[in-house]
Amino acid sequence: MKILTCFLSILLFLQASAATADPVTITGKVSDSRNNPLAGVSIMLKGSSIGATTDVNGHYTVKSPQSSGTLIFTNLGYASQEVSFTEGKTAIDVTMTEIAKGLNEVIVVGYGTQRQGEITSAVASVKSENFVKGAAGDAAQLIRGKVAGLSVVTTDGNPTGTAQVNLRGIATLNASTTPLVIIDGVPGTLTSVAPEDIESIDVLKDGSAAAIYGTRGTNGVILITTRKSKGSAAPKMDLNTYFTTQRITKRLDFLSASEYRQYVQQGKPGATDYGGSTDWLKEVMQKPLSQVYNLDLRGSSENTNYIVNINYRNLNGIMQRSNNKIIYPRLEVNHSMFNGMLKLNANINGYEQNYFGFDGGGFRGDVYRNAIYLNPTQPVRNPDGTFTEHTDKTDYANPVSLLYTSDGMQQNTDLRTSGTAVLTPIRDLDIRLLVSRDLLNNLAGYSETRQNYSTLHDGKNGYAARGAQRSVEDLLEATVNYKRSIGDHTVTGLAGYSWRQNDVQSFYAQNYDFPTDDYSYNSLQSGRALSRGQGVENSYRSQNKLVGYFFRLNYSFQDKYLLATSIRREGSSKFGSNHKYGNFPAASIGWNAKQESFLIDIKTISSLKFRAGYGITGTEPSTPYLSLDRINFNTYTLINGQWIQVINPSSNANPDLRWEKKKELNIGVDIGFMNNRLTATVDYYKRTTSDLLFNYPVSTPPYLYNNITANAASMQNKGVEVQLNFAVIQGKDLTWNTQVNYSTNSNKILSLSDKHFQLASGYFDAGFLAEPIQTPTSRVQIGLPVGNFYGFKSVDIDDQGHWIILGKDGKPKPIVQAQADDKMIIGNGLPKHYLSWNNSLSYKNFDLNITMRGAFDFQILNTPRIWYDAPVMMTRGNLLKTAYDKVYGKRPLADDQSVSYVSYYIENGSYWKIDNVTLGYNLRLQTKYIKTVRVYASASNLKTFTGYKGIDPEVSILGLAPGVDNRNRYPAITSYTLGGFFTF
Amino acid sequence: MSTIKNICLVLLLASVTLPGCKGDLKEITYSDLSAQTYKYTDAYAAMGIAYANLRGLFSHSNWYMLQETSSDELVMPANSSGWEDAGIYKRIHLHTWNSENPQMINMWLQLYAGVTNCNRVLDQLDKDVIPPAAGTTKEGLIGEMKVLRAFYYWQICDNFGNAPLVNSTATELPSTAKRQEIYDFIVKDINDALPSLSENTDKLMYGRFNKWAAKALLANIYLNAEVYTGQAKWQECLAQCNDILGSPGYHLEGAYKDIFKTQNENSSEIIFAVPFDENQGQGFFVEMYSWHGAMKDKYNMQATPWGSGSAQGIPQFIDTYSSDDHRLGDTWLMGPQFKSDGVTPLKGSYDKNGQPLNFVNHLPDGLFTSETEGYRMNKFEVKTGALADLSNDFPFFRLAQVMMMKAECLLRTGHADDAAAIVTNVRNRAFADPAKATVTGAQLQGNSKYHYGYVENYNIVDPGDQSAVQFGGMLDELGYEFPWEAQRRRDDIRFGVFTKKSWLSHKPNGDYRTIFPIPQAALNSNPNLDQNDGYK
């Protein structure tokens, strides 16, 4: 078949050649509809390989061996034109018309790509030129505020931290609401690739788009495409580098040493002058400098192309010792064989990471917490050079000592290898096989000297820990894709098989009572605690599998009526033996109304499409083995003078564990005006999650434990998303593009029971405030949204300075008489509205990007104020300057008013942020070595407008207790970046 | 059509021939064991969990402190360290607890976990899944497990009154059984089991139910039968006490302190203990919530007690002691405190920051105190270098307690002088002067020395009910002997004090408070349960 085609082409070519006459030279100018010259337009002589491109002034010259023929003018974003020439007509000027912008844009969807015009579900695509500029810690931060309905929140400035991502509200009770992340077809995380190595990010928002992923599609899918080598070109190198410094967004206003001393003089209970003058926060913070370098080298020949990308990040945070060093190497090679019949791709990437981490992980929040509330008159060190400590005080440690009497390292090595083979035996039939392995190794070490709190407070006499983990995720996917057009009908079919296995092995040990500090964590055997039966030894291995079969059929009639259907049947090893498999179907339709005769001539409306889709996605539990009746030997009893290990059931087994399912309806419209200078996308969705997996309260007796992982509740999220793009100014020198994204979501718990698990109350509590309060923060209740704060409603203060709260009868009562059932809903921590406004301006060689975003209509539980706006805490340490302010305009809180969770500390969280401002200058050089240079300056989290009194109103939006501003959080930061981008 | 065939063929090839990629979704376990495939070989390892479960009762927010701080003996006030834990302890003292106080569900879960573990082990013994240990019989082990289950049900009956009675491994949601039903069930189960139980008092039976421990349990149930059922069982209690006293294995310790020392296992006075170990049998850490953090340096402890400590004696209770009674100092930590060198004073950390730590026996009220107010726990030895968890075993039933039960039964059945002789016998080791150890029947029958009354700002401002406590002298004797041993709530109820008298910040708040409410969380997860009267 193929050979026949080739033969025919050659024959035709020969025939054409036979008709030769004298050569001619055709010249002319190509311009756009506004008569601006178009550079880089490609011109081909039809039926030959002869071609040319226009120069910066739009001029071109084509030498034709024949005296007559046809020239084909093509330029991305414009309709191609064919113009014939003859001997007498060799000066040809062409005006090219822009095709409606965006319709041909390629969108990455599950297991393939589609043109924007073919899309029938809610999908958003962000290309690298539209990413948030400036420093980015992970892939999500590149698109914060860019996709309506995708909330990206950075709750702290920890250099190892990642953004919190939530799509269309909280749709699951399980802890993870992070969307599935797929990088070049292989599952990963938002930090699996360097942000600077990303070409585009596509977000599958609704069920009909995500259902092809079956499992894990519930929270949406983020498809990351790395930078590719395109076409045939000489090797090219890009260097992208930037330098960042940061400062704390806002310092909480605590008493200075001299202000504190005034309270000592007043004889406030517990106020003590230790004689020093210490700014504790200053003692543990630094002015960090971070550096990022991204170097990529690309080249290609006729059949082979490659890209080598090296990314090095040396990140430092505002807290001393907080850092993150990563190298991301990536090598991708594509090779085409047998006339394009077989395409091979190999991709080796991953990262090597090294950072200071406390025991078991990241940077410890208690460094910051202690730094804000340690007594400011306490010196950092004693005269003998040791750190000052008052270990008899609960929850009170010298933060400088925490930092410098410990040492820790976390080393991660992630090796991601994948290979793809695509066989195209006949035109439009692709048979594709993808095999990948993601191997993540972690090695950790941590130690504390005998000057550390652990020895002074807990008598450890030196402490060290070691841990290692190896987690392997293997994936095999085989798909067959076929596309066929017959007349007005276009059909695309996809069938696939997916096999995924996850295997985790880990080891962890801690020991204490060391003879010396000199070993750090490098000689665990030298401690004596383990040999006494103290300390911890732990090793674990688990494995789970997912197997899926999927099919998809897309049908299009004249590009006008579109239909997409898919189904995935997927099985997970984590479920009960009779409940392994689930089916996840989806269907969506689209109507390109613009193609209809009654609209085709209406110039103002340049595009109009209606979409509707429905899809079911699933969720499996985060841990395996929950359906098994497991036992362990984790406790002891005394028998005959010996402590023997006893057999202890591990949990309540649930052999009926099955899939959690989310059904989602999405209705959307895309409309463009003025040749798509103004486009709008509006989506409405309703997602209902049922059989929600959760660790439900269950009755004891008859169950041994009072919770069981089961499927019971259902929950609904409804919302609207609006995305507006407007090319306000499209001048020769000046352009201004603006984008507004808005989303709103309302969440409701529909039910918390099924026939096995009846929550008669219709609620359970979530979140927790630690000692000295020890109470849940939030309540999940039928008929109400997730995120409700549940506590005492303070309404007044009595003459002695004690809280007066509302009783359940609605009457005020002293807090000393408070009962648990006096608690009520006192706020909600989930923003109801998100709005962002992104602007991109360019003037000649300058460009300016400003992104602003905000969240509205929600409350924040200000836990630092609960703890430090309470005079009673003067006995422990420092207080906020406002601690003795009048409450309810009456008087300060009493010195003996215990720390309480009351509505006084619930604050309005609404905010509007100037999130990022970047000014760039682009220079096109004619030099031999450097071709283009771009330099820029950028500021992130620049200014926040809010009534919230804490550090930053951008607090957690995940889980069942969102909106709690954790007093331990690594502080939020404002960062300033200088960067350069060089093409060689 | 052929295209589709090709597709299917490729898919089939891909899924079948690729190595390792099996579609089998059976779970493969590595570090987890499945009960279905595990082969039981050691009966003690299988039964042991039902005993290990007892240790969880002893935390500050569980059964142990509920027994003490709801009574007129102990209180856990908030204090100047800022700590309050949302007022959950204050409400126990004030008798204003409700079904949402976390101690209720904590105690409920711990007691019913014991019941559920017993039910499973009994089922496994019955079905021969668990082979009997060497030298034991299936009947003996079943009897022992039934008595242990009865122990848990006794505490359920005592604390919650009406509650589910589940005796199998079925998972149907149970409904509430009346207190009388639970009482009848446990009395029958213990009596049925007695013949099969070991009479040995050796190491093998320590911390387990032999015949004598089972009889001590039964005696305790009979002692409180009038509270549980309205029908007194003094004679039945007496009979069980006499059986135990007639057995050769138990003797009073010469020194009171020795019953509570770190290495108190196998003490000849202990009939039934909950064994603890600082590493392997954790769960007893009373010093952590009673002591001030500075106390670390008195015993060179590895752990630092929490904050300024909280669990402390109610001054009115302490005031009932005779100053000659060694048990006052042996039970209560008082006065100035020093480092382990005995001379360097310990210092306060909060409102008395830097001032000498001197525990005094006066409290402004039961709600909020200074860090040095209130006598603390001194009963259980805290060894030098102690960890947070102590190795002292908790003496649940001991010979002195059996003697005092016998004395009380005699007293209540008209033999006051015989009772006084037994009480004197118990008192003897606590007094240097034997004359002072002697009590009379009249004293036992007389009113309590406890100055009941509601306190504000260190003084009784409202005496409340001042009627004489019947057998108040006996109640006082129980108070001297058994503080910190989780008995006071039962004794206060049995002597009619619990819901009638005022002490510290507590005022009577309803007779229904002799039992606790069914925890809200239990009601929430099981609609078949009924809330106890008064808490609805």
Mean pLDDT, chain A, rounded, equals 90
Question: Are B193 and B77 part of one and the same domain?
Answer: yes
Give the C-alpha separation, B190 to B219, whole Å: 11
Q: Per the CB < 8 Å rule, is A270 touching B29?
A: no
Q: Per the CB < 8 Å rule, is B7 touching A480?
A: yes
pLDDT tier at A232 (50, 70, 90 boundaries)?
A: low
Which chain A positions have a beta carbon within 8 Å of B5's beta carbon? none
Give the C-alpha separation, A737 to A133, whole Å: 15
Which chain B positions have a beta carbon within 8 Å of A480's beta carbon? 6-7, 10-11
- What are the structure tokens assigned to B448, written together? 């309590």
Residue B57 lies in a domain: yes
Note the residue count of chain B: 536
Identify which of A847, A965, A771 has the alpha carbon closest to the alpha carbon of residue A133.
A847
Q: Which residue of A has its CA nearest to B292?
A: A392
Give the C-alpha separation, B281 to B392, whole Å: 10
Residue B187 pLDDT > 80: yes
Question: Are B190 and B51 part of one and the same domain?
Answer: yes
- Domain CATH for B184: 1.25.40.390
Cα Rg for chain B, rounded, in angstroms? 26
Q: Which helix (H) or strand (E) holds B207?
A: none
Identify which of A694, A893, A679 has the alpha carbon closest to the alpha carbon of residue A802.
A893
Domain count of the fold of chain B: 2
- What are the structure tokens assigned to A877, written together? 């340490």
Residue A7 pLDDT > 70: no
- What are the structure tokens assigned to A759, written together? 């929550």
- What are the structure tokens assigned to B58, written together? 């002893």
Domain end residue (candidates: A172, A207, A226): A226
Q: Tell me what the mean pLDDT of segment A401-419 comes to.
A: 96
Q: What is the residue range of A52's domain? A: 16-96
- Amino acid type, A631: I
Residue B94 lies in a domain: yes
Please report, to the nearest 10 degrees, the dihedral formed by the alpha carbons of residues B422, B428, B430, B432 taken in order. Answer: 160
pLDDT for position A100: 55
DSSP assignment string, A393-423: STT---HHHHHHSEEEEEEEEEEEEEEEEEE
Residue A296 pLDDT > 70: yes
Give the C-alpha separation, A311 to A582, whole Å: 41
Which chain B positions have a beta carbon within 8 Å of A393's beta carbon? 81, 293, 307, 349-350
Residue with the bigger pLDDT between A856 and A302: it is: A856
Identify which of A586, A553, A579, A583 has the alpha carbon closest to the alpha carbon of residue A569.
A583
Q: Is B309 left (phi over 0), alpha (psi -120 to 50) or beta?
A: left
Q: How far is B486 from chain A (nearest CA, A)?
A: 22
Question: Are B164 and B285 part of one and the same domain?
Answer: no
CB A435 within 8 A of CB A476: yes
Give the C-alpha separation, A69 to A559, whole Å: 31
Residue B84 lies in a domain: yes
- What are the structure tokens assigned to A776, written together? 């849940």
Q: Summarize pLDDT for A326-380 with one digit per residue, the tens.
A: 999 999 999 999 888 999 999 999 999 999 999 878 888 899 999 999 999 999 9
Residue A317 lies in a domain: no
Q: What is the residue range of B184's domain? A: 40-197
Question: What angle (nearest 5°) sits at the alpha carbon of residue B347, between those of residues B344 and B353?
Answer: 155
Which chain B positions have a beta carbon within 8 Å of A458's beta carbon? 302-304
Residue B128 lies in a domain: yes
Q: Is the dihedral of CA B38, B41, B47, B53 positive or negative?
A: negative
pLDDT for position A97: 73
Long-range CB pairs of A97-103 (<8 Å, 24+ gap) are A97/A32, A97/A33, A98/A32, A98/A33, A98/A675, A100/A594, A100/A606, A100/A607, A100/A672, A100/A675, A100/A676, A101/A77, A101/A672, A101/A675, A101/A676, A101/A677, A101/A679, A102/A607, A102/A672, A102/A676, A102/A679, A103/A607, A103/A676
pTM passes above 0.95: no
Domain end residue (candidates: A70, A96, A122): A96
Close Cβ partners of A940 (under 8 Å, ≥ 6 residues apart): A134, A135, A915, A916, A974, A975, A976, A977
Q: Summarize pLDDT for A831-855 with one digit per residue, the tens.
A: 999 999 999 999 999 999 999 999 9
Question: Are A794 and A871 part of one and the same domain?
Answer: yes
Residue A203 lies in a domain: yes
Question: Are B166 and B304 part of one and the same domain?
Answer: no
pLDDT tier at A4 (50, 70, 90 boundaries)?
A: very low
Residue A806 lies in a domain: yes
Least confident of A568-572, B210-214, B402-406: A568-572
CB A139 within 8 A of CB A180: no
Q: How far is A579 from chain B (nearest CA, A)?
A: 11
Q: Tell me what the mean pLDDT of segment B468-486 comes to.
A: 97
- What are the structure tokens assigned to A303, written together? 């059949």
Residue A81 lies in a domain: yes
Residue of A459, A639, A774 lying closest to B302 (CB–CB): A459
Q: Per the CB < 8 Å rule, is A821 touching B98?
A: yes
Q: Per the CB < 8 Å rule, is B293 touching A645?
A: no
Which chain A positions have a beta carbon within 8 Å of B91's beta carbon? 819
Cis peptide bond N-terminal to B463, omega within 30: no
Question: Are A902 and A793 part of one and the same domain?
Answer: yes
Question: Are A122 and A204 part of one and the same domain?
Answer: yes
- Domain CATH for A200: 2.170.130.10
Question: Are A91 and A203 part of one and the same domain?
Answer: no
**Residue A117 DSSP label:** G
Residue B10 pLDDT > 70: no
Q: Summarize pLDDT for B279-292 with one digit per residue, the tens.
A: 999 999 999 999 99
Question: Are A69 and A161 part of one and the same domain?
Answer: no
Q: How far is A637 from chain B (nearest CA, A)?
A: 5
Residue of B31, B296, B387 lying closest to A539 (CB–CB): B31
Question: Are A137 and A218 part of one and the same domain?
Answer: yes
Give the C-alpha separation, B170 to B156, whole Å: 20
**Neighbour tally for A195: CB within 10 Å:** 25
Q: Which helix (H) or strand (E) holds A640?
A: none
Q: How far is A629 from chain B (nearest CA, A)?
A: 5
Give the C-alpha separation, A957 to A438, whole Å: 29
Domain end residue (candidates: B142, B168, B197): B197
pLDDT tier at A15 (50, 70, 90 boundaries)?
A: very low
Residue B99 lies in a domain: yes
Question: Are A91 and A198 part of one and the same domain?
Answer: no
Neighbour-count burial of A666, counting CB atoms closer than 10 A to its CB (0-12 exposed, 13-18 middle, 19+ buried):
buried
Least confident of A281-290, B8-17, B123-132: B8-17
- What are the structure tokens assigned to A470, written together? 């190896």
Q: Summarize pLDDT for A509-540 with one digit per residue, the tens.
A: 999 999 999 999 999 999 999 998 888 999 99
Question: Are A187 and A219 part of one and the same domain?
Answer: yes
Give the C-alpha separation, B367 to B90, whole Å: 6
pLDDT tier at A98 (50, 70, 90 boundaries)?
A: low
CB B204 within 8 A of CB A640: yes
Q: Is A418 left (phi over 0), alpha (psi -120 to 50) or beta?
A: beta
pLDDT for position B98: 84
Which chain B positions have a beta carbon within 8 Å of A543's beta carbon? 27-28, 30
Residue B25 lies in a domain: no
Q: Is A835 left (phi over 0), alpha (psi -120 to 50) or beta?
A: beta
**Neighbour tally for A758: CB within 10 Å:** 21
Residue A469 pLDDT > 70: yes
Give the C-alpha separation, A233 to A240, whole Å: 20
Residue A508 lies in a domain: no
Residue A913, strand partner residues: A853, A944
Q: How far is B239 from chain A (nearest CA, A)?
A: 30
Q: Which helix (H) or strand (E) holds A378?
A: none
SS3 A103: coil
Residue A404 lies in a domain: no
Note the residue count of chain A: 984
Give the C-alpha separation, A505 to A738, whole Å: 49
Q: Given CB atoms, is A272 within the 8 Å cutoff of chain B?
A: yes
Identify which of A842, A500, A136, A759 has the alpha carbon closest to the alpha carbon of residue B521.
A759
Residue A498 lies in a domain: no
- If DSSP states are collapsed to H, E and C, what string results for A807-831? CCCCCEEEHHHCCHHHCEEEEECCC
Q: Tell me what the mean pLDDT of segment A111-119 comes to.
A: 84
Pairing state between β A323-337 and A304-316: antiparallel
CB B397 within 8 A of CB B213: yes
Q: Given CB atoms, is A482 within the 8 Å cutoff of chain B?
A: yes
Domain end residue (candidates: B197, B218, B242): B197
Tell me what ipTM this predicted complex has: 0.93
Domain end residue (candidates: B377, B392, B407): B392
pLDDT for position A599: 86
Q: Per the CB < 8 Å rule, is B32 touching A542?
A: yes
Between B138-159 and B102-126, two packed helices, what is the crossing angle to 10 degrees? 160
Give the C-alpha separation, A912 to A855, whole Å: 7
- What are the structure tokens assigned to A317, written together? 């945070």
Pairing state between β A198-204 and A221-226: antiparallel
For residue A21, the number of C-alpha atoms closer than 13 Å in the C-beta half-sphere is 7
| DSSP-H helix ranges across A19-146 | none
pLDDT for position A16: 41
Give per-residue burial for A6-43: e unless 16+ CB within 10 Å, then b: eeeeeeeeeeeeeeeeeebebebbbbbeeeebbeebeb
Question: Are A124 and A64 part of one and the same domain?
Answer: no
Residue B461 lies in a domain: no
Residue A597 lies in a domain: no
Domain count of the fold of chain A: 3
Chain A with chain B: Cβ pairs closer than 8 A: 312
Which chain A positions have a beta carbon within 8 Å of B80's beta carbon? 269-270, 872, 875, 896
Q: Summarize pLDDT for A550-603 with one digit per residue, the tens.
A: 999 999 998 899 999 999 999 999 998 888 999 999 999 999 998 888 888 888
pLDDT for position B23: 61
Q: Tell me what the mean pLDDT of segment A622-644 comes to.
A: 93
Residue B182 lies in a domain: yes
Domain end residue (candidates: A880, A908, A936): A908
- What are the structure tokens assigned to B121, written together? 């082990």
Q: Which residue of B has its CA nearest to A396?
A: B307
Share above pLDDT 90 across residues of chain A, in percent, rounded to a whole number: 63
Share above pLDDT 90 across residues of chain B, in percent, rounded to a whole number: 86
Residue B258 pLDDT > 90: yes
Identify which of A333, A325, A326 has the alpha carbon closest to the alpha carbon of residue A297.
A333
Give the C-alpha separation, A374 to A273, whole Å: 12
Question: Are A175 and A215 part of one and the same domain?
Answer: yes
pLDDT for position A945: 97
Identify which of A495, A499, A464 has the alpha carbon closest to the alpha carbon of residue A482.
A495
Q: Tell me what the mean pLDDT of segment B421-427 comes to.
A: 97
Residue B92 pLDDT > 80: yes
Residue B17 pLDDT > 80: no
Q: Summarize pLDDT for A34-68 with one digit per residue, the tens.
A: 777 787 788 888 877 777 878 777 888 888 888 88
| DSSP-H helix ranges across B194-322 | 211-223, 225-229, 234-246, 286-290, 315-318
| DSSP-H helix ranges across A333-378 | 365-373
